[in-house]
């Protein structure tokens, strides 16, 4: 099967095709689904996310109640006398209610009125050092936001030791069920160092995560999404290390990818990093979305030879997941195009050319950033939230082998006997049946056409027809999360006598052997 969004390559039970002599042809099923995209420094002028990618667009309302940007309200001039712009009292009342509702709706744009900026301002009022009351206050704020959005939320407490000192912190975990129980983990640490209020590092990452969580709360996703606010990152990745230590083998194998958000609001450039090699597919998909929406998120070019293009170091919460072999990406705003005094290329430790390092300094506060480069904070929040939202909706793992995804009632088929088999396929999510394409041996069913063979030995001939010999005895349907169908395999040569010469005797061996159903 092939669905229009590459989800997985399913290894199927081999079916044996016989013609008096045992032989086989088998099948594979591939599934893919369609992509959906939507849309700073480089995005839309109002900062609004459009169509499916958006929840709300920004609108300004004048004292007269007119929309000055964002939404437009159409009017029906037929309701009044001579003045087509005049409205009845009831119409005006409805219009005012509409405008008021839109003005009060949460915003996810590049303004200080956005949901993300609000979270950022709340979380960065104070430093949130691990094991302190301020860290616990931030934990409770995050938990309350997730619960208010309707997510099942729990707190995972843990103890740790650093430099001989015992500490206690917590991870906040919120779950959004998807069509599949396979999961994507989104993580951002909420603690900070004591030198600053930690606006960029890392109230910003948490704010983006909370913004995307709110945008997605009423959106169906193919995969389950697990949002995790990690505690105690600044004292040695303690929260993410503890979480991964508690993952079962089943959860590890069930995790499609991990997305890490750390220090995203004030660097000169907007980056996404990821694995080397085939596991870098998550980064590449994020880059494609960024390009299509003109978000300006790029990857570092490998100017520092210690960090190949597209990668980064092991200094944030993606690292424990990387050690488990889970594909990851990491959003960060910094500047890899700078050199130190010795002429060495940056490792991204200095976020800005003008002000140098921001994280772990007194400059990491919202007042400084808003004053020094107005609009940058809002742009970064908007760009990363938009990118995360779209990526979580459309994340599309490459094909992978999944054993026992298809069950068949028999693996024995015959070229001399018609046979109907029952098929049950678990794709890992509930598909749209009209987007499924069934194939056998790499070809759609309707391309497996009958070759008629007639005549006596030595006088036989063959004729290709347009009649498929593989058809549905019963059309595919859903049985819970599984796709079930009955497939009829007819006579490939229109006869049960395969011994006639020259045909089909000369050609039936072409169907012998094992083929794959894709």
Amino acid 455: pLDDT? 56
* Residues 9, 12, 14: CA angle, nearest 5 degrees: 140
pLDDT in tens, 256-302: 999 999 999 999 999 999 999 888 999 999 999 999 999 999 999 99
Distance CA 387, CA 391 (A): 6
* Residues 80, 83, 88: CA angle, nearest 5 degrees: 35
> Residues 321, 327: contact at Cβ < 8 Å?
no
Distance CA 29, CA 437 (A): 9
Position 508 confidence tier, pLDDT thresholds 50, 70, 90: low
* The residue to which tokens 């004053």 are assigned: 371
Does pTM surpass 0.95?
A: no
pLDDT at 9 exceeding the cut of 60: no
Q: Which domains does the chain have, with CATH numbers?
A: 105-394 (3.40.630.10), 402-512 (no CATH)
Position 60 confidence tier, pLDDT thresholds 50, 70, 90: very low
> How much is the mean pLDDT over the chain?
81
Q: Is the bond preceding residue 51 a cis peptide, omega within 30 degrees?
A: no
Amino acid 120: pLDDT? 98
Cα R_g (the chain), whole angstroms: 29
Greatest alpha-carbon pair distance for the chain in Å reads 95
pLDDT in tens, 184-195: 999 999 999 999
pLDDT in tens, 206-216: 999 999 999 99
Distance CA 325, CA 319 (A): 10
The lowest-confidence range among 93-102, 168-177, 340-349, 385-394 is: 93-102
Least Cα distance to 205 among 106, 350, 330 occurs for 330
Which carries the bigger pLDDT value, residue 98 or residue 17? 98
């Amino acid at each position: 099967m092939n669905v229009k969004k590459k989800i997985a390559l399913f290894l199927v039970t081999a079916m044996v095709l016989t013609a008096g002599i045992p032989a086989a042809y088998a099948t594979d099923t591939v599934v893919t689904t369609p992509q959906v995209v939507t849309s700073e420094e480089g995005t839309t002028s109002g900062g609004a996310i459009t169509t499916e990618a958006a929840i709300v667009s920004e609108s300004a309302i004048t004292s007269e109640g007119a929309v000055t940007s964002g939404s437009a309200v159409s009017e029906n001039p037929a309701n009044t006398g001579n003045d087509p712009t005049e409205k009845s009292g009831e119409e005006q009342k409805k219009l005012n209610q509409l405008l008021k509702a839109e003005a009060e709706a949460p915003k996810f744009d590049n303004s200080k009125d956005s949901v993300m900026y609000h979270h950022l301002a709340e979380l960065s009022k104070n430093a949130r050092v691990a094991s302190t009351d301020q860290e616990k206050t931030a934990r409770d704020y995050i938990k309350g936001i997730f619960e208010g959005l309707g997510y099942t939320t729990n707190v995972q407490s843990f103890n740790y030791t650093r430099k001989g000192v015992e500490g206690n912190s917590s991870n906040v975990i919120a779950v959004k069920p998807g069509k599949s129980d396979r999961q994507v983990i989104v993580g951002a640490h909420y603690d900070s160092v004591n030198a600053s209020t930690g606006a960029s590092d890392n109230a910003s990452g948490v704010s983006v995560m909370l913004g995307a969580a709110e945008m997605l709360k009423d959106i169906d996703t193919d995969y389950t999404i697990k949002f995790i606010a990690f505690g105690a990152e600044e004292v040695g990745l303690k929260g993410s290390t503890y979480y991964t230590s508690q993952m079962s083998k089943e959860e590890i194998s069930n995790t499609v990818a991990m997305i890490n958000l750390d220090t995203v609001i004030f660097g000169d450039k907007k980056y996404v990093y990821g694995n080397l090699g085939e596991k870098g597919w998550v980064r590449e998909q994020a880059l494609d979305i960024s390009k299509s929406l003109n978000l300006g998120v790029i990857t570092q070019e490998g100017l520092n030879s210690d960090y190949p293009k597209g990668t980064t170091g092991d200094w944030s919460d993606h690292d424990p997941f990387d050690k488990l072999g889970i594909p990851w990406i990491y959003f960060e705003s910094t500047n890899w195009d700078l050199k130190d005094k010795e002429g060495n290329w940056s490792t991204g430790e200095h976020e800005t050319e003008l002000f140098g390092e921001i994280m772990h300094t007194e400059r990491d506060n919202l007042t400084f950033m808003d004053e020094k480069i107005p609009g940058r904070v809002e742009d970064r929040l908007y760009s990363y939230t938009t990118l995360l939202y779209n990526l979580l909706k459309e994340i599309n793992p490459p094909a992978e082998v999944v054993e026992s995804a298809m069950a068949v009632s028999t693996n024995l088929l015959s070229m001399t006997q018609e046979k109907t088999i029952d098929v049950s396929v678990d794709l890992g999510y509930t598909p749209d049946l009209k987007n499924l394409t069934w194939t056998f041996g790499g070809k759609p069913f309707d391309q497996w056409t009958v070759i008629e063979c007639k005549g006596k030995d030595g006088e036989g001939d063959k004729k290709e027809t347009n009649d498929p010999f593989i058809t549905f005895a019963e059309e595919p349907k859903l049985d819970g999360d599984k796709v079930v169908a009955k497939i009829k395999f007819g006579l490939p040569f229109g006869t049960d006598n395969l011994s006639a010469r020259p045909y089909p005797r000369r050609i039936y061996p072409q169907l012998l052997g094992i083929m794959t159903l894709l």
